[in-house]
Amino acid sequence: MKVERFLAVFLLVSVVLGTSGLGMAADVSLKDYNAVVVRDLEVPSGSPAPGSAGMQMAEKAVYQIKRYNQNNKLFDTVAREEAKASNEPGKKVLVITGEVKEWTPPSVGGRVGRSFIPGVGGHLGSASFTAHYKFVDKESGRVIYETDLQTSSIGSNDTVEYAMDRNGEALAKVVTKFKGK
């Protein structure tokens, strides 16, 4: 009897905690924002990533968000510099900040090992990039949403730069998803 009661309480707590994270993400809406600013990502000391990786990733993110912005008309302004995005009064500005979490250059061993996977062959890359992003309301400084995005290179584009391009596109998809709500 005690075991059944324990399992029932454990199941109830698991369901409540498991769905609480989903509720937070469901409440994110970027509809009110007219401009987005992407700041250079921080590169922790001791990281294998070069110091310029944060600036490079910010440029890639801005490029991809602008690309999605052309088709979906999400924002009036997409920029890396806050001065460009906050010139006009009354504009609500979203600031995207972040930190480089992983920067893994390609390895021949990883590529060779993956080439033995049936049906995939040599189409998998071995380079990867992970970043932690924060969406911040510029006016209040409140963090609206946080996420980790991990991407890898593919096929002959086995470079960290290509993994970073894919990471920028993944970020643009997240922004588009929340702007469309």
pLDDT single digits (tens) 131-163:
999 999 999 999 999 999 999 888 777 888 999
* Cα-based torsion angle of the residue sequence 67, 81, 89, 174 in order, rounded to the nearest 10 degrees: 40
Is pLDDT larger for residue 93 or for residue 9?
A: 93
pLDDT range class, residue 5, cuts 50, 70, 90: low
pLDDT tens readout for residues 165-179: 999 999 999 999 998
Q: What's the whole-model pTM score?
A: 0.76
What is the CATH T-level fold of the domain 34-179, as seen in this structure?
Rossmann fold (3.40.50)
Which residues are paired to 35 by β-bridges? 77, 93
Average pLDDT in the chain: 81
Residues 97, 78: Cα–Cα separation, whole Å: 14
Residue 87's pLDDT is what? 62
Q: At what angle do helices 160-179 and 53-72 cross, to 10 degrees?
A: 40
Residue 22's pLDDT is what? 42
pLDDT tens readout for residues 101-113: 999 888 766 555 6
Q: Choose among 70, 63, 72: nearest CA to 38.
A: 63
Domain limits, the chain: 34-179
